[in-house]
Structure 1
Amino acid sequence: MSIKIYGDPGSGSLRRITSAAAVMGVEIERVNIDLFKGESHTPEYLELNPHGLSPVMVDGDFVLYESSAINLYLAEKAGSDLAGTTTRERYEILQWMFWSGEQWRVFATLTFDEVLAKRFMGKPADESIVNLAAAKLRAGASVLDAHLAKHDYIVGDRLTLVDFDIAGPFSQNERTKIPLNEFPNLVAWQQRLLETVPAWADTKREVDVRIDTALEAAGIKL
């Protein structure tokens, strides 16, 4: 029985899973969920994730949401070194993954909700929220930029799950205008991922087509 991953092709969170799964050689069955049509809020989907968010993994009778947890599960199942090979490395990866969830990606998502999602609903962005999120992202980016001045990757100078985790906001930064391009080491690291991890480049194209097509269909120009 294959592992099913439910998600919208325009989701940066889904991108983190599909990219990591490809690198780890984990076969997954994609089940597309159209967020723009409200398919994540059907009674059937809410049984999988009561928050109405994607992605969600279903492996037999085991249901798991939150992309970071899903990637850790897939890595353990595959015996992959992307989750770390030593105790120290594993905990460094977890440290940065927790940091990414609390200090980083949440503010990129908040900006997406204000700058893009509200446009689809015909509502204006709350600039106070956008500015707050930008300030938080700059604070986090400063930490990352200093770290990446000395490292090619986030942990251990090789690709791990946390690279996908922290790279997630780059999926929409050109559309939401979050301030990531102000930090040269961060930009160089992202470019390194695109050039050395084919799955990351492939999923960027998938996200771009999905979101740009949706914007065009809605008549939204950024």
Structure 2
Amino acid sequence: MTIKIHGDAGSGSLRRVTTAAKIMGIELERVKVDLFKGESQTEDFKARLNPHGLTPVLEDGGTILWEAAAINLYLADKVGSSLAGASPEERFQVLQWMFWSGEQWRTFTTTIFDERVAKTVMGQPKDEAVIAYAERKIRYAARVLDQHLEDRQFMVGNALTFADIDIAGPFSQVDRANFPFREFPNLMAWHDNLLRSFPAWAETKAEVDNRMDRFLEGVGVEL
């Protein structure tokens, strides 16, 4: 039975799943959910797939799973992938960074995306105080990452893991939302290495960029 993944091509969270699936050699059936048209907010979507009205959502037979990190761990278990860690010790380190990314990293980049991009699209004023607060949080977290990455190419061990994919997720919107990542050279060098070394990450970047650029052009928004 084909594994379905519901999501919008402009989503950095969907990108985390589609990249990981490509690397693991797992074929996914893509089911388009247009977030800009509110297709994840319908009563049917919430009742059948995700009560929060968010994507991506995995559908594997009778298994429904949301949250990109959980989906990736589920897929890795199916094929025994080392993206979840090459040893029990590495696995817990990978989980540590995945949880950290959700709580200390991506939440604040999402806030800035909502203020700078989503509100611009909707014609609403940005809250500069919220942006300043989120940028302070991002810079604090980025300093931790920059120090950690000073003498390494990957977040955990000597190979790509979900820790890298989760933390790299916000780079999907870095140019549109103007996150202050470029202030941190080790962080930028690490991400540049991911783009060079893993074609799947570069391919999904192009997909996100195409989706977002076409949408913004269609609604006449320049950021």
* TM-score, length basis structure 1: 0.98
| 2:12 aligned partner | 12
Taking the TM superposition and a 5 Å limit, the aligned residue runs for 1:133-144 are 133-144=134-145
Q: Distance in 1 between matches of 2:109 and 2:119?
A: 14
Deviation of 1:157 after TM superposition, in Å, equals 2.0
Q: Which residue identity is paired with 1:118?
A: K
| 2:129 aligned partner | 128
| 2:50 aligned partner | 49
List runs of 5+ in structure 2 lacking aligned partners: none
Instruction: Give per-residue Cα distances to partners, 1:91-150, cap 9 Å, x unaligned.
Output: 000000000000000101111111111112110111111111111000000000001002
Q: Distance in 2 between matches of 1:99 and 1:197?
A: 23
| 1:33 aligned partner | 33
| 1:24 aligned partner | 24
Instruction: Give per-residue Cα distances to partners, 1:17-65, cap 9 Å, x unaligned.
Output: 0000000011111001100000011122112111111100011011000
| 2:177 aligned partner | 176
Equivalent pairs, count: 222
Q: Which residue identity is paired with 1:180?
A: F
Partner of 2:64, secondary structure, is strand
Deviation of 1:80 after TM superposition, in Å, equals 0.6
Q: Which residue identity is paired with 2:84?
A: A
* TM-score, length basis structure 2: 0.98
Deviation of 1:168 after TM superposition, in Å, equals 0.4
Q: Which residue identity is paired with 1:166?
A: I
Q: Distance in 2 between matches of 1:17 and 1:96?
A: 17
Return structure 1 stretches of 4+ with deviation > 4 angstroms.
Answer: none
Partner of 2:221, secondary structure, is coil
Q: Distance in 1 between matches of 2:2 and 2:109?
A: 32
Q: Which residue identity is paired with 1:23?
A: I
Deviation of 1:217 after TM superposition, in Å, equals 0.8
| 1:191 aligned partner | 192
| 2:221 aligned partner | 220
Partner of 1:159, secondary structure, is coil
Matched, 1:167 2:156: no
Partner of 1:167, secondary structure, is helix
| 2:209 aligned partner | 208
Give the stretch that moved more between structures: 118-127 or 189-198. 118-127
Taking only aligned residues, the RMSD between alpha carbons, in angstroms, comes to: 0.7
Q: Distance in 2 between matches of 1:182 and 1:87?
A: 34
State, as a whole percentage, how many aligned pairs show the same letter. Answer: 58
Deviation of 1:197 after TM superposition, in Å, equals 0.5
Instruction: Give per-residue Cα distances to partners, 1:135-179, cap 9 Å, x unaligned.
Output: 100000000000100211000021011111000010001111110
